[in-house]
Structure 1
Amino acid sequence: MKAENRLHFGVPIVEVQLDEVCERAADIAQLLLEIRAQQTGIQRSNQRGWHSQDDLFNHPAEPIKWLSEVIFQVAGKLIRHADHMPDNTELLLSSMWANINDAGAWNAPHVHLPCEWSGVLYIDVADIAPVSESGIHDGDILFLDPVPVGAPYRPATTVAYTPKVGTMYVFPSYLMHMVAPHFSDKPRISVAFNFRVAANIQRFAR
């Protein structure tokens, strides 16, 4: 597994491409669309888009169980490496949910505190995403500088990533991010997740 660990604003954003997810993406996407038809979504950062319940990893379907294990294993390895943790550091997959954005949907700026690490895995995105006048692609994920002092000190206040099917990004949960509007007629589908460091939780008495 080859991962790209980039520093933006001094914050690590790790990217990896998962071929095994690409091979099963169509079946997973169809299942998530079926789940959307059966369940009422919840409101988080989603604007006009559908956000599943936060415990998607509890869904009994085999493709979801498989995807949960992939996320747990791969993201856990990336987090330990990015945060210089020992290999035996216990991490907990605390939440996992599907995002389905139809035309006109987007996600407002938000963070995932109090979790320590978060990420997203893309299941169905456009092969060639349209580009806006700003240079941002349809459905890009944008990360915002947590200390936006601006030029000439740190001139780039945002950075945008254009995912492909099977792309996973992992980043600290405090990093503000958003999703650009989606305009294609085909739904844009991703699965997001949060991790907690077990030792941090155990420090609290109640």
Structure 2
Amino acid sequence: MLVNKFLTLTLFAAVGLLAANANVQKETKLKFSFYITSQCRDTINFVTRQLHPTYQELKDYLDVEFVPWGKSRRNNGSITCQFGPTDCVANKIQSCVLSILGNDQAKQVDYINCEMSNLSAVQQDYSCAISVGVGADIAKQCFDSTLGDQLQEQAEKKTGTITMVFVPTIVYNDVYSVQVQNAAFANFKQYACSLLKDESPVACG
């Protein structure tokens, strides 16, 4: 009987420790929001050369989200995008695919990296969606429906809560800062590592 009680208490203690560790890991994640637009050269370079490789190394420490709207503007119901109509098309497709991927951030990062590398959505090509497991038919159904419009409205509203002077805009913990923007854009890995100095990830050296 005593042995059984001891084993039970040990099991509960172990479960509690695992839960505590999980909470600590969750709390120590750095939340970054990336306000992007599909055909922006600065966004393309940042995602492909900095964000994507850094995420592969530090994904256990990063909580990321993408907001595909950029400097688009709405006037009397009509949207004008920074790089023209194809920019609007790609932003809407990206909103749809990101929504379909849900909380799978690894696939979201891979998807946006694919889009920025190939600009496939600009041509209404769904190959990048397919590469992360999203069917072209499902993505297109979202794009052609009011859901796609609603997702872009959400991106528009979220972008309206920050100071958008440059694309991509990088926001840490939901608070825009010029200092964070400049440091993260100049060297995203270095900036993330500076916030993780107490965690000492191997990738940060």
Q: TM-score normalized by structure 1?
A: 0.26
Q: Higher RCO, 1 or 2 (CA under 8 Å, sep at least 6)?
A: 1
